[in-house]
């Protein structure tokens, strides 16, 4: 199975784009392909003047982030929106392919990803029965991530299960420390801001040193592991989806199912 190269899926790049969520302007894995792309500000703060100066033929956005400026965007160029974020990343990917006239290529790329995910799952043996917990720690808002999330969808494609408290077709829930027992699983994958700002580091330490956390079976078994926030959460696209499969294969010590 050939995984997508770390380059533009469509063999072209946008003339302008909102900067990556917590990078300036692009995440490392897309910085090369977007070297000639003009940053347009943040997802929720698009610089319309710069955008208009680029004279685009088409604007692609997301209703969650840009619904309020649809009229302004559509006055610049024809504008289309994906409806949602989180667990809809595959639906959005196919939507973007369709509006670019690349339906077949989009469908083929998704089929290749899903086949790769299933192949990794098949290589896990009895470990495919592991329950996988997903938790995000951030100052002021710690959340348990459910199945309708970027990482949750990928775990499902692999065939890995979720603990009973997390086996919900929802996005995420903000919790307080009394809900730490609901974070347990055979494996616990948690993420926090990759840049490790001081406040985030202190918050993570506070939670992961709490007696309730230290008493979790997954923690006591040494199977609570921090993973990349970018790869498992904020990246949200097919590149990071393949990168997450890379990480899962490495964690489990199985063939990542990729060839050159």
pLDDT digits (tens, 9 = 90+) for 100-156: 999 999 999 999 999 999 999 999 999 999 999 999 999 989 999 999 999 999 999
**Max intra-chain CA distance, the chain:** 57
Query: Which pLDDT score, from 0 to 100, does residue 75 have?
Result: 96
DSSP type of residue 80: E
Mean pLDDT, residues 158-181 taken together: 97
| Band of pLDDT at residue 12, cut at 50, 70 and 90 | low
How far apart are alpha carbons 68 and 63 in whole angstroms?
Answer: 8
The more confident residue out of 198 and 11 is 198
Mean pLDDT, residues 159-179 taken together: 97
pLDDT digits (tens, 9 = 90+) for 205-258: 999 999 999 999 999 999 999 999 999 999 889 999 999 999 999 999 999 997
Mean pLDDT, residues 173-198 taken together: 97
pTM: 0.90
For the record, the structure tokens of 226 come out as 């921090």
pLDDT digits (tens, 9 = 90+) for 66-85: 999 999 999 999 999 998 87
Query: Which pLDDT score, from 0 to 100, does residue 9 have?
Result: 42
For the record, the structure tokens of 75 come out as 């006055």
pLDDT exceeds cutoff 60 at 7: no
What average pLDDT does the structure give for the chain?
91
Query: Which pLDDT score, from 0 to 100, does residue 10 have?
Result: 46
Contact 191, 228 (CB under 8 A): yes
Tokens 């951030």 map to which residue?
Answer: 138
Query: Which pLDDT score, from 0 to 100, does residue 4 have?
Result: 30
Query: Which pLDDT score, from 0 to 100, does residue 6 have?
Result: 30
Query: Which pLDDT score, from 0 to 100, does residue 33 have?
Result: 87
Mean pLDDT, residues 194-205 taken together: 95
Query: Which pLDDT score, from 0 to 100, does residue 249 have?
Result: 97
How far apart are alpha carbons 102 and 52 in whole angstroms?
Answer: 25
């Amino acid at each position: 199975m050939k995984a997508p190269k770390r380059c533009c899926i469509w063999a072209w790049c946008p003339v302008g784009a909102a900067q990556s969520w917590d990078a300036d302007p692009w995440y490392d894995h897309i910085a090369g392909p977007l070297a000639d792309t003009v940053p347009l500000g943040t997802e929720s703060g698009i610089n319309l003047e710069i955008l208009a100066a680029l004279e685009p033929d088409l604007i692609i956005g997301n209703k969650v982030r840009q619904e309020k400026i649809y009229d302004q965007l559509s006055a610049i160029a024809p504008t289309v929106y994906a409806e949602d974020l989180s667990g809809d990343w595959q639906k959005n990917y196919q939507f973007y392919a369709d509006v670019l006239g690349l339906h077949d290529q989009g469908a083929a790329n998704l089929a290749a990803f899903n086949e790769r995910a299933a192949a990794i799952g098949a290589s896990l043996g009895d470990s495919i029965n592991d329950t996988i917990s997903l938790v995000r720690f951030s100052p002021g808002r710690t959340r348990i991530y459910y199945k309708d999330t970027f990482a949750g969808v990928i775990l499902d494609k692999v065939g890995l299960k979720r603990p009973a408290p997390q086996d919900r077709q929802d996005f995420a829930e903000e919790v307080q420390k009394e809900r730490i027992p609901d974070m347990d699983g055979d494996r616990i994958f948690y993420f926090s801001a990759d840049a490790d700002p001081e406040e985030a580091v202190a918050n993570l330490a506070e939670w992961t040193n709490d007696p309730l956390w230290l008493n979790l079976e997954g923690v006591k078994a040494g199977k609570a592991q921090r993973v990349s926030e970018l790869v498992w959460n904020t990246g949200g696209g097919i590149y990071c989806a393949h990168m997450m499969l890379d990480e899962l294969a490495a964690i489990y010590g199985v063939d990542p199912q990729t060839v050159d």
